[in-house]
Chains A and B, each alone.
Chain A
Amino acid sequence: MRITQGTFSFLPDLTDEQITKQIDYCLSRGWALGVEYTDDPHPRNTYWEMYGAPMFDLRDPAGIMQELAQCRATFPNHYIRLTAFDSTQGVESLVVAFIVNRPKVEPGFRLVRHEQAGRSIRYTIESYAVQAQPEGARY
């Protein structure tokens, strides 16, 4: 099941050229971009691991694309996203985040039922990829 998180996630995967253009747009707005990765695609997993600090004061996408290429080489089978931060409000607030790399197979989620007191049931979801697998060994 294809994960749809962040901007553009209902579109086909962006090509490198398209990613470059998106980065260019973000930089033209003065946003700082960071590369983040994870192997836990749960929708509530908001804070992904940062691949280096967000890159401030950049003018050209080349630097970020280079960082992305390195991240892809290190984690070819993880989710990788680019996150843009806007500092005009006085804090680095997230404005855009889009996925730029996915695992080859995305098995999707299973529904977990928790039996509660009084025969009531609580539902939760769990990624098949995450099931009983430690971080780093999931995809």
Chain B
Amino acid sequence: MTSPNPIGSTAHNPLAQALASSGITELLAQLDAELIGLAPVKRRIRDIAALLLVDKLRAERGFAAGAPSLHMCFSGNPGTGKTTVALRMASVLHRLGYVRKGHLVSVTRDDLVGQYIGHTAPKTREVLKRAMGGVLFIDEAYYLYRPENERDYGQEAIEILLQVMENNRDDLVVILAGYKDRMDRFFESNPGMSSRIAHHIDFPDYGVDELARIADLMLETMHYHFDHEALRVFEQYLVRRMAQPHFANARSVRNALDRARLRHASRLMHDAAGSADDASLTTITAADLLASRVFAAAPAALLTNKETTTC
């Protein structure tokens, strides 16, 4: 990450010492290493970490200010890492001592909204009780509010949620997530929700080089790697895929890699002189990627291009 570290790094600073003893530094470093890009998100996590740390120091000296509200809203396009960050957030907040247990309860509309009158409130309360001491992650939160049906029970769930977000602020952190435009519309129609959420964090789309690094990271965890040629082809794949509709950032990358693994496996099976040494089992070659539908539009041009570069 290139942005300056807002938590000072000077050696004799008592804040720096508190930081070192809390183990946050490793956590943030891990965050940096395992989450590619997402600069604004990481910046906000750093800010929150700093605030909680300073609050702890202040409390030790008797300057209590009350626990800050940490309810968050993650908005961004599909596959930009909202769920992944929410999971990390739970452990970050736990490490900082803001939540007591640090578990994540991930729910959608189905888990909160009941099917008949009087079913919603107990259902929502039960979920909230399960989430206490940790983080409640509501994916695609805008489905809670259905303006087209005025008798929809979602509104009831929202009201209970608001009440608990206000009254049990030190028991749980609520994170709402969803696509940007729909989330904005959701907040427009529920101003109470918007004002109770202190942190609205936008997840930016990834660039080609960030996606390539994400692919590398994913392959590494799956014990694969690209060969030199495949690396170049994959970047071209990304450029083409990004131009197509329904591009879902890191999720599309994962799907592309899964399909490449399929082709890699069947190539090994059908290869007459196939060898099954470690190298061939772990290497994804350009051929595995070029068979993709994405290259179907103009495969010839790419192949000639490939020949000119390899010759």
Contacts and interface: CB of A to CB of B under 8 A. Distances in A.
Contacts, number: 35
Contacts of B101: 59-60
Nearest to B126: A55
Contacts of A63: 128-130, 132
Contacts of A59: 101, 103, 130, 132-134
A58 interface: yes
B100 A60 contact: yes
Interface residues on B, range: 10 to 19
A113 B226 CA distance: 90
Contacts of A57: 130
Contacts of B133: 59-62
Contact of A67 (B100, B129, B134): B129
A66 B164 CA distance: 11
Interface residues on A, range: 10 to 19
B161 to A, nearest CB: 15
Interface in B132-150: 132-134
A40 B102 CA distance: 40
B181 to A, nearest CB: 34
A123 B169 CA distance: 55
Nearest to B122: A52
A59 B105 CA distance: 10
A57 B171 CA distance: 16
B168 interface: yes
A61 B101 CA distance: 10
Interface of A: 55, 57-64, 66-67
23 contacts: A57-B130, A58-B129, A58-B130, A58-B132, A59-B101, A59-B103, A59-B130, A59-B132, A59-B133, A59-B134, A60-B100, A60-B171, A61-B133, A62-B133, A62-B168, A62-B172, A63-B128, A63-B130, A63-B132, A64-B129, A66-B132, A66-B168, A67-B129
